Chains A and B, each alone.
Chain A
Amino acid sequence: MIGGLFIYNHKGEVLISRVYRDDIGSMELSGSCVGGWLERNAVDAFRVNVIHARQQVRSPVTNIARTSFFHVKRSNIWLAAVTKQNVNAAMVFEFLYKMCDVMTAYFGKISEENIKNNFVLIYELLDEILDFGYPQNSETGALKTFITQQGIKGQTKEEQSQITSQVTGQIGWRREGIKYRRNELFLDVLESVNLLMSPQGQVLSAHVSGRVVMKSYLSGMPECKFGMNDKIVIDKQGKGGATDDAAKSGKQSIAIDDCTFHQCVRLSKFDSERSISFIPPDGEYELMRYRTTKDIILPFRVIPLVREVGRTKLEVKVVIKSNFKPSLLAQKIEVRIPTPLNTSGVQVICMKGKAKYKASENAIVWKIKRMAGMKESQISAEIELLPTNDKKKWARPPISMNFEVPFAPSGLKVRYLKVFESKLNYSDHDVIKWVRYIGRSGIYETRC
């Protein structure tokens, strides 16, 4: 299990150190304790070998002196979990991410200043969510009921047992007795569409990774059931009663390669009936993630043309075409055209939007605020190069693109989200529901 957890700043100074296991030793610097000195060495070793290492990080798991260090980095803060055992590596990383989530939920951005200002809180959290290196309940909702920055108010006995039963209970993510005057829920279908295209326009790989994020403001302990145009479900229904309606919607169904759910979803029920039922946490959380690879709508097509004119000049022409309903508008479009390192000057002409050569980023960045569907636009640039004697050819990084579109590129549609709360007197019809679709570019690259 995890033997200790350390947080370093970018200089490698220790901001937080919490040791759970004797085998990795403590961070104390008392001169009397030789062991402590040695272990301090091991922790220093991480600083020397990883944080201060000149080159890029070659592995997120490092073994130094028979001690394994797992690390993740958030802005310029390093979080390192240390162990001497054969721990579950996936769990350690999941835990480190979770730890970042918890800290962000408590005090916002993970920065040196925030960590220093909240170190007491962090120690308290670390004491609660890791016991002897075993991760314990780390749901922010539950933690916030009894780890507060204001100090604990006098709790009644009922409150105390409510806390403990929530922390250890089957529904650890929601407490009883939540009340809202207006029962309301928001569903966001957030997709990122990823593409790798060859210069000839051949799709090398494409997939959508999507998330369904739910904000729920519902009273009591509501049972929810979520439905979407999942091909497997719709085909099954089609078989049952072959109505015209089902046949119609069958055409619009999508094949989901794989999906994962928030721990509130009853997985066994999904496995057997493919129905998604759950009691939601209060507030915002991620209900599910999914991945599709078939019949993806690629919102943009990038057509690059790069011509080397002699050794000191490059001509670049890039056309982008939008490929969705003309009534819809894409936003925040950005095309990034890499330029060689020895670029001395760039002239750009574009029909739409603004384009700029950014020397520090070695790229021409072309921004368009809005673009409707079924349109096209182009940019051409002349790149002057300094003559170099570098034998190595320019690696020609791919042209990448960013955008946001108001539909789901996978074709996913929310069919329903039903809410049942038998104990309270509100029904599914009383709940106000909002659904929104946003498609964003993930890694959307075209090689040139």
Chain B
Amino acid sequence: RSCSKFHLQRFCIFELKAELNSDKKEKKKEAVKKVIASMTVGKDVSALFPDVVNCMQTDNLELKKLVYLYLMNYAKSQPDMAIMAVNTFVKDCEDPNPLIRALAVRTMGCIRVDKITEYLCEPLRKCLKDEDPYVRKTAAVCVAKLHDINAQLVEDQGFLDTLKDLISDSNPMVVANAVAALSEIAESHPNSNLLDLNPQTINKLLTALNECTEWGQIFILDCLANYTPRDDRESQSICERVTPRLSHANSAVVLSAVKVLMKFMEMLPKDLDYYGTLLKKLAPPLVTLLSAEPELQYVALRNINLIVQRRPEIMKHEMKVFFVKYNDPIYVKLEKLDIMIRLASQANIAQVLAELKEYATEVDVDFVRKAVRAIGRCAIKVEQSAERCVSTLLDLIQTKVNYVVQEAIVVIKDIFRKYPNKYESVIATLCENLDSLDEPEARAAMIWIVGEYAERIDNADELLESFLEGFHDESTQVQLQLLTAIVKLFLKKPTETQELVQQVLSLATQDSDNPDLRDRGYIYWRLLSTDPVAAKEVVLAEKPLISEETDLIEPTLLEELICHIGTLASVYHKPPSAFVEGSRGVQHKRLPCSAGSGESVDSPETSSTAGVSDAPPAVIPSQGDLLGDLLNLDLTPTTTGPPPPAVSTGMQLGAMDLLGGGLDSLIGAGFGAAPAAMPASFGAPGSGGLDDLFDLGSGVGMPMGAYSPPKSVWLQAMKAKGLEISGTFARRAGVIQMEMTLTNKAMSVMTDFAIQFNRNSFGLSPAGPLQVLTPLSPNQSIEVALPLNTSGPVMKMDPLNNLQVAVKNNIDVFYFSCQYPISMLFVEDGKMERQIFLATWKDIPNENESQFQIKDCHLSSDAVSNKLQGSNIFTIAKRTVDGQDMLYLSVKLTNGIWVLAELRIQAGNPNYTISLKCRAPEVSQCVFQSYEAVLKN
């Protein structure tokens, strides 16, 4: 700071001081104005504090307001001097003019100085009961201010009760402000019953709703949305009184009304006439929001995006309104595009495609890319349109616009995945553009295509070789893809490509610092050198299909976001806890349950007729989301539940350090339109090292060994001529064992033991003879462990895990049946890769999903994860959504059946909910029992 500037400021302050102490009122006022002006531009005028406060004693309202403004700014930095103002405040609170009373109480609440707060209580108490509604409505807000400074004081002074009384005030604005203040205070006390919403208060609120200002209506509607009606009739009657708000000119009133209706609609029976009427009423106001100013359009579009995912039927016929206008701001364009894809169906696909083609020639690069990607998504979503989409994409590739070509290649790869052996004729065209690809994702996609269809591309080896030249300059994504593609090529054309594969393997294993790449290289190398047939089975295995809807919001999050319609959460598509600090908004909101007890919210018939699926498909959040939430979890450790084991904290801290600076950018990128623009890239294997850092399962849990039930008596001595067999099953070091205790309760010695199994569901059979070497004397017991394998003949049993056994000895043959815990069959390599898990989860139809409750379990999610891992139930990912931990688990049975699970653990709730998804749903019940058994022991 230069010297002259400093002097100038000193001088100004000196001059102002003189003016402030002038006798002339006008001069004083002008001086205070100058002070405020300096304050605004950031100059420090705190030195004038006493002089300004001296001007406070005036009957000129304008001057008074200026002084108050100054006070609010500087009181905190000069608390001792601020006390000087107290007397004036207290006096002003008694002023005959209600405007001055309100001004005083309003300003006093803004001065966050403890000593002043003490003096505020008495005036505030009076103002809350003032005869003038203007003073009361100001005082109501003041309680919220005071609560923010000193919550305890507000409670002790009984202001909360007075505030509650104001809900019954005769003036609608007082009611609205009281509701707003109470709602905010209640948010920081999630468990208090502050708002105490009951039918009587709801009725009062609904009455005030008709009479208060537009802002007041918003406060009231937002508050109403927190209420859960007792039954569908109450729900309907509230809806009926809220629907008129849909015609309000204020978009926020409309959106808040939509929120209330969307929420309460959940409780209405679907067959009710009113339900249909309500659905029809929702579309027009939502469409009208799109003719508002662009910023509001953006908020509306983000919300419509949620609404469309929850209830596609509302906007089914409104496709046209989402067509992009040339002059729309880019953020509106991108959002509209997103919704267009969501609404695309067989009925409107022609129109949509024509539009998308138009957009692909626009100027904005992001928008064009998204439009190209959208064409690919249409192809995957609406099968009938696939052919047209592919030809549109080919047309676009012909334009040779670099980023269009690259984007098109990325989506064509997905189309190949979805419809194998259908469109491969276009590969030649794609190969022509090889040279123009400079983005990793496009290069990786192209390499994948070449590797996958190596047998149809004559010069596949040349093409891949050309990429190999600059191997070390490529991004990891491309390197990994290139490695895999060349191995695929080798397996398909082993004769000509031996040199190439050796080259890439040595590049990957010897010249690379990237552990992912090295590991994958070594695995291939080992596979190829030991067992080429197995290598073929692994590398060229049939790929799981990709699902049609990408980047859908995960259902529980969607439900929560529906409860937050109109708010920032709905704009960010993130729960409030993700961006709000402290306790506010952390409360987890959920939609109420529908009227009929277990009735599904969605009717299947609409989903089959309309192209737009009605049922909200079960979705695992895309990888980006998972990562984001994991990061969040690390930043704000949950206070509930026992602390995680030391090993895991160490690991998480390490991971945080590694991420270091990247953290902000990750979080930053998560906001705004970015996540929607990022399609889940489950097609690309191993997209970076982050996944592995966060792999919760590996190395974190301490293996505790598989759960094995205690022995029980299988064969009673009475029935088996004195031979008693009790036993159990265990899985030790990957081997299933039948552990038995044979007891001779007869009078004679037993010899010549042998065992045989009947055919059973999983082909269990003894891997060797029953080893009872010494004869069994009377009253003697012997422990035997019989290793089993699963290569025996298969027959479906009922129950599924039933095993019929025959045991022979020198006396007779005895038969018994026993049930083995299915967890014996969970193999060690049952940890699914995350991307495959995501895709598989989406791919398994919803009817294969079954849900169970595990009651009375008191483990933290980390402990659960550890315990399960001991029995080969692997945690793929963990997310925390507002105190609710969600574990995503996978299990593989000996016969190759995968069982995926989502386990929800609510802090403080001993009952866990588990959803199992499996292509063979028959096993679900058994698998669930094992889960329960493992967790409870």
Contacts and interface: CB of A to CB of B under 8 A. Distances in A.
A28 interface: yes
Contacts of A163: 99, 134
Which of A15, A26, A61, A87 has the most CB atoms of chain B within a 10 A radius of its CB?
Answer: A61
Contacts of B686: none
Contact of B244 (A13, A14, A267): A267
B568 A89 contact: yes
Contacts of A86: 564, 567-569, 576, 579-580, 584-585
Interface stretch (B35-43, B493-501, B899-907, B929-937): B35-43
Contacts of B248: 260-261, 263, 267
Contacts of A136: 137, 173, 177, 213, 215
Interface stretch (A65-73, A182-190, A415-423): A65-73
Contact of A66 (B323, B331, B579): B579
A81 to B, nearest CB: 11
Contact of B218 (A88, A120, A291): A88
Given A88-B252, A132-B109, A15 B97 contact: no
A290 to B, nearest CB: 9
Contacts of B295: 60, 70-72, 93, 96
A152 B579 CA distance: 44
B439 interface: no
B60 interface: yes
B361 A395 contact: yes
A90 B252 contact: yes
A207 B325 CA distance: 13
B44 A393 contact: no
Contacts of A209: 291
A393 B287 CA distance: 34
Contacts of B219: 134
A395 B40 CA distance: 46
A430 interface: no
Interface in A30-85: 30-33, 40, 56-64, 66, 68, 70-72, 83-85
Contact of A14 (B36, B42, B134): B42
Interface string A262-291: 110011101100000000000000101101
Contacts of A137: 173, 213, 215
Interface residues of B, number: 121
Contacts of B399: 392-393
Interface in B272-319: 284-285, 287-288, 291, 293-296, 298-300
Contacts of A146: 99
B363 A395 contact: yes
Interface in A132-169: 132, 134-139, 146, 151-152, 155, 157, 160-161, 163-165, 167-169
Interface stretch (B449-457, B666-674, B702-710, B797-805): B666-674
Interface in B562-579: 564, 566-572, 576, 579
Contact residues of A: prevailing secondary structure: mixed
Interface stretch (B62-70, B741-749, B833-841, B862-870): B62-70
A22 B326 CA distance: 42
Interface stretch (B138-146, B595-603, B759-767, B845-853): B138-146
B137 A168 contact: yes
Which of B135, B249, B579 has the most CB atoms of chain A within a 10 A radius of its CB?
Answer: B249
Contacts of B579: 63, 66, 68, 86
Nearest to B222: A88
A132 B145 contact: yes
B33 interface: yes
A135 B359 CA distance: 40
A290 B181 CA distance: 34
B88 interface: no
Contacts, number: 306
Contact residues of B: prevailing secondary structure: helix
A58 B213 contact: no
Interface stretch (B73-81, B527-535, B619-627, B885-893): B73-81
Nearest to B293: A97
B325 A443 contact: yes
Nearest to B142: A132
A196 B249 contact: no
Interface stretch (A123-131, A313-321, A369-377): A123-131
A13 B40 CA distance: 10
Which of B37, B110, B256 has the most CB atoms of chain A within a 10 A radius of its CB?
Answer: B110
A61 B355 CA distance: 27
Interface string B84-128: 000000000000111100100010011010000000000000000
B184 interface: yes
Contact of B77 (A16, A32, A60, A392): A32
B40 to A, nearest CB: 6
A16 B672 contact: no
Contact of A93 (B132, B293, B355): B293
A433 interface: no
B456 to A, nearest CB: 30
Contact of A263 (B250, B285, B358): B250
Contacts of A22: 112, 148
Contacts of B671: 62-63
Nearest to B212: A170
Contacts of A72: 293, 295
A396 interface: yes
Interface in A106-135: 119-120, 123-124, 127, 131-132, 134-135
B62 A93 contact: no
A323 interface: no
Contacts of A167: 134, 173
Contacts of B294: 60
A391 B255 CA distance: 45
A94 interface: yes
A61 B331 CA distance: 10
Contacts of B112: 22
Contacts of B33: 120
Given A1-B184, A91-B252, A119-B40, A132 B321 contact: no
Nearest to A131: B141
B69 A127 contact: yes
B98 A260 contact: no
A438 to B, nearest CB: 18
Interface string A191-230: 0000010100000110101000000000000000000000
Nearest to A172: B213
Contacts of B323: 196, 204-205
A136 B177 CA distance: 9
A138 B173 CA distance: 12
A127 B65 contact: yes
A123 B672 CA distance: 31
Contacts of B569: 86
A425 B581 CA distance: 60
B245 interface: yes
Nearest to B585: A86
A168 B401 contact: no
Given A63-B572, A120-B66, A152-B61, A131 B138 contact: yes
B329 interface: yes
Given A89-B566, A137-B173, A398-B326, A30 B145 contact: no
B871 interface: no
A58 B673 contact: yes
A312 B173 CA distance: 67
16 contacts: A19-B73, A30-B46, A30-B77, A60-B294, A86-B579, A88-B252, A90-B254, A91-B215, A91-B256, A93-B252, A93-B299, A119-B40, A120-B62, A152-B61, A198-B354, A263-B214
6 closest A-B pairs by beta carbon, nearest first, are A258-B284, A164-B134, A90-B252, A271-B244, A267-B244, A91-B252
Interface of A: 1, 13-17, 19-23, 26-33, 40, 56-64, 66, 68, 70-72, 83-91, 93-97, 119-120, 123-124, 127, 131-132, 134-139, 146, 151-152, 155, 157, 160-161, 163-165, 167-170, 172, 196, 198, 204-205, 207, 209, 257-263, 266-268, 270-271, 286, 288-289, 291, 391-393, 395-398, 400, 443, 445, 447
